[in-house]
């Protein structure tokens, strides 16, 4: 999450951009990015307005934090209705497309891009996933992101694709088992580019286990499991008292903020839905084949530094991975 937020601070619109649209702000990632960008724009480009798009059927989302910003306008839209999208993004000059963690992501992205075309919105920043370039059609979730990337290339004359690792984003998903068992116009260099955002280290299972042992002071063992076994574990998280499929998006930025984290505090995590589980399993398949989990060096091209390591993350949140007595 911190990688995405840092990258966004370098992709602010130019002075003549007046309205920027962000999709899926009723999700964890979308809310965090919208809040972060609103804060940055308020300080640097106060005249720029954010059009924050949320699904009209999502009754769980709470937008109190976003509503505090004068430069944010929240629109409840029907992603199946292009007219609804066209109306919402009227006057927008560039967009941030954040695909949903649902089986509808390709259709909804296609409708949004069609609305962009009709409204003559030619610039787009797409948040994709690591491994989206893979040609393995058995990885059905990752293939959908590849399809969306192709649509963005076709529809937008100016685009930037940032591929994030869903594995890195979901590190907290492993904490229960460890506890219990041991588009910048001013930067033409980035126009029509695709970057895979990674930390400075190659990710391996053995390396993660070693880092956990060093940071938690406990013995964590590595065990090879099948895709089905891992899927059952991830599905079981929604049955835990401290996990659920719904999370108040108003708290996303607070939870993601380093300043608000209290080691050993009372946290309520979001359990992954079926789409996210399958996407995570797809990425793990790519890591096994050496097609993901690598060090890309792309983050340094955008920010000038390589980002933080997995070990840095584990050191900061080590109490989340310690056994509960």
Q: Where are the domains of the chain?
A: 2-168+183-194, 199-321
pTM > 0.85? no
Look up residue 238 and give its DSSP letter. Answer: G
Of the chain, the percentage scoring pLDDT greater than 70 comes to: 74
**DSSP annotation string for 21-47:** EE--TTSHHHHHHHHHHHHHHHHH-TT
The pLDDT of residue 118 is above 70: yes
- Matching CATH number, 2-168+183-194, of 3.40.50.740, 2.60.40.10, 1.10.3720.10, 3.40.50.720: 3.40.50.720
pLDDT tens-place string over residues 71-84: 999 999 999 999 99
pLDDT digits (tens, 9 = 90+) for 121-168: 999 999 999 888 887 888 999 999 999 999 999 999 989 999 987 655
What is the SS3 assignment for 95? Answer: strand
Give Cα 175 to chain centroid, integer Å. 19
**E-state strands within the chain:** 19-22, 49-55, 72-77, 94-97, 123-129, 158-164, 193-197, 243-244, 269-270
Residue 3 to residues 31, 168, 193, 256, Cα–Cα distance (Å)? 15, 10, 17, 11
């Amino acid at each position: 999450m911190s990688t995405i937020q840092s990258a966004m601070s370098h992709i602010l619109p130019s002075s003549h951009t007046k309205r920027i649209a962000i999709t899926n702000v009723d999700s964890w990632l979308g809310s965090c990015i919208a809040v972060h960008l609103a804060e940055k724009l308020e300080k640097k480009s106060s005249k720029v307005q954010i059009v924050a798009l949320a699904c009209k059927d999502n009754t769980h989302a709470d937008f109190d934090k976003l509503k505090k910003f004068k430069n944010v306008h929240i629109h409840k839209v029907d992603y199946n209705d292009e007219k609804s999208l066209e109306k919402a993004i009227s006057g927008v000059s560039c967009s941030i497309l954040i695909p949903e963690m649902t089986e509808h992501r390709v259709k909804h992205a296609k409708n949004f891009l069609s609305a962009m075309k009709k409204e003559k919105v030619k610039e787009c920043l797409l948040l994709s996933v690591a491994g989206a370039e893979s040609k393995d059609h058995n990885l059905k979730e990752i293939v959908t992101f590849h399809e969306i990337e192709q649509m963005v290339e076709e529809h937008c004359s100016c685009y930037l694709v940032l591929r994030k690792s869903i594995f890195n984003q979901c590190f907290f998903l492993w904490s229960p088992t460890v506890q219990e068992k041991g588009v910048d116009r001013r930067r033409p260099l980035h126009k029509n580019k695709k970057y895979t955002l990674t930390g400075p280290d190659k990710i391996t299972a053995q390396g993660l286990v070693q880092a956990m042992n060093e940071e938690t002071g406990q013995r964590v063992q590595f065990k090879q499991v099948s895709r089905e076994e891992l899927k059952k574990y991830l599905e079981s998280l929604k049955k835990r008292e401290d996990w659920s499929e719904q999370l108040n998006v108003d708290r996303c930025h607070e939870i993601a903020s380093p300043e608000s984290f209290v080691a050993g505090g009372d946290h309520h995590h979001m359990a992954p839905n079926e789409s996210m589980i399958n996407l995570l399993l797809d990425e793990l398949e790519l890591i096994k084949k050496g097609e993901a989990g690598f060090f890309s060096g792309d983050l340094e091209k955008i920010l000038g530094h390589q980002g933080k390591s997995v070990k840095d993350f584990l050191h900061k949140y080590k109490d989340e991975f310690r056994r509960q007595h």
